[in-house]
């Protein structure tokens, strides 16, 4: 609603200097400006109704005829309709496409080139659809598994790093200060700050707080696709946050800080089993309260 309000004010030249600056900074401003420029020629000349009336009165009077007189407002309405249709088409064609997986859910979808994507819980992807075949680039928040169709360079950007491929299968996870990439087929190039690494089939890399750790996997796809979360030397807070995403619950930790790292698997389709694994590993007890809340306490 706010964008439509700003668009209307812009069309009427009613934006303040600050509003105009903010509007020009939006992703879609260039499209609006282009449509406005191409429809400006639809303006018609002023209509001289007095001159036409005088000409009619001089003519020989015959059987009265109804003569529809074109008026300026008709062409203005037509121009506005053309402009509105252009705006609507541009919004649908050029706007950013977004896919999201809510907490406790996973989402699968296809990109315009038929590349396959599966989003893990609490993750989003944004991309431009109109120029996808020449610029296969998207932004990821969270975790996703990609099965990329052959073609031009395919790029996944996150707030921590970037992954570039040509056609392969890989998993990207960017949560807070931890960046994980796993290659299941082909090759992927990973960029993280000053680091650049090439991964091949079965190789993984993790960056956390500027520290790089390489690894190896035997599986052909991420464990979370089969209802299991795999952790590799991760802190208790990270485990708790992932359980919250997968089960859409709230967890409170009431225990002393621990630096113990956890490596193992936790199910995403059995909450009690997941909580029991955490309790046993960290010598905790848990209880469930109202409003979908779980409390971990020391024994």
Q: Look at the pTM and tell me if it is higher than 0.75.
A: no
Q: How many CB atoms lie within 10 A of CB 140?
A: 23
Give pLDDT tens digits for 216-244: 999 999 999 999 999 989 999 999 999 99
* Of 143, 147, 213, the residue nearest 186 (C-alpha): 147
Q: Which helix (H) or strand (E) holds 231?
A: strand 228-234
For residue 179, the SS3 value is strand
* Of 142, 214, 132, 128, the residue nearest 172 (C-alpha): 142
* Of 181, 185, 182, 180, the residue nearest 166 (C-alpha): 185
Q: How many CB atoms lie within 10 A of CB 85?
A: 12
DSSP state of 196: E
Beta strand segments in 113-168, E: 116-119, 123-128, 136-147, 154-157, 162-165
- Pairing verdict, β 203-208 and 228-234: unpaired
Q: What is the pLDDT of residue 108?
A: 97
Give pLDDT tens digits for 102-125: 999 999 999 999 999 999 999 999
Q: What is the pLDDT of residue 47?
A: 47
CB hemisphere CA count around 244 (13 angstroms): 13
How confident is the prediction for the chain on average, in pLDDT?
83
């Amino acid at each position: 609603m706010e964008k439509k309000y700003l668009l209307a004010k812009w069309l009427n030249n009613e934006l303040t200097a600050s509003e105009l600056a903010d509007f020009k900074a939006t992703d879609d401003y260039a499209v609006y400006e282009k449509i406005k420029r191409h429809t400006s020629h639809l303006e018609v000349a002023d209509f001289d109704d007095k001159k036409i009336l005088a000409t009619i009165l001089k003519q020989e009077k015959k059987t009265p005829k109804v003569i529809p007189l074109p008026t300026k407002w008709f062409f203005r309405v037509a121009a506005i309709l053309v402009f509105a249709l252009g705006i609507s088409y541009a919004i649908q064609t050029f706007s950013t496409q977004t896919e999201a997986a809510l907490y406790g859910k996973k989402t699968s979808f296809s990109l315009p080139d038929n590349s396959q994507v599966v989003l893990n819980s609490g993750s989003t992807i944004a991309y431009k659809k109109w120029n996808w075949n020449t610029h296969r680039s998207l932004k990821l928040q969270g975790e996703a598994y990609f099965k990329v169709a052959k073609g031009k360079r395919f790029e996944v950007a996150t707030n921590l790093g970037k992954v570039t491929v040509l056609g392969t299968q890989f998993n990207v996870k960017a949560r807070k200060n931890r960046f994980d990439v796993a290659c299941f087929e082909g090759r992927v190039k990973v960029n993280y700050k000053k680091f650049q690494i090439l991964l091949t089939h079965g190789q993984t890399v993790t960056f956390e707080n500027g520290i790089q750790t390489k690894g190896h996997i035997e599986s052909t796809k991420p464990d979370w696709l089969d209802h299991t979360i795999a952790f590799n030397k991760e802190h208790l807070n990270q485990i708790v946050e992932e359980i919250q995403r997968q089960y859409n619950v709230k967890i409170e930790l009431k225990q002393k800080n621990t630096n113990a790292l956890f490596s193992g698997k936790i199910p995403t389709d059995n909450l009690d089993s997941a909580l029991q694994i955490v309790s046993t590993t960290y010598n905790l007890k848990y209880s469930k309260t109202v409003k979908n809340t779980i409390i971990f306490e020391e024994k």
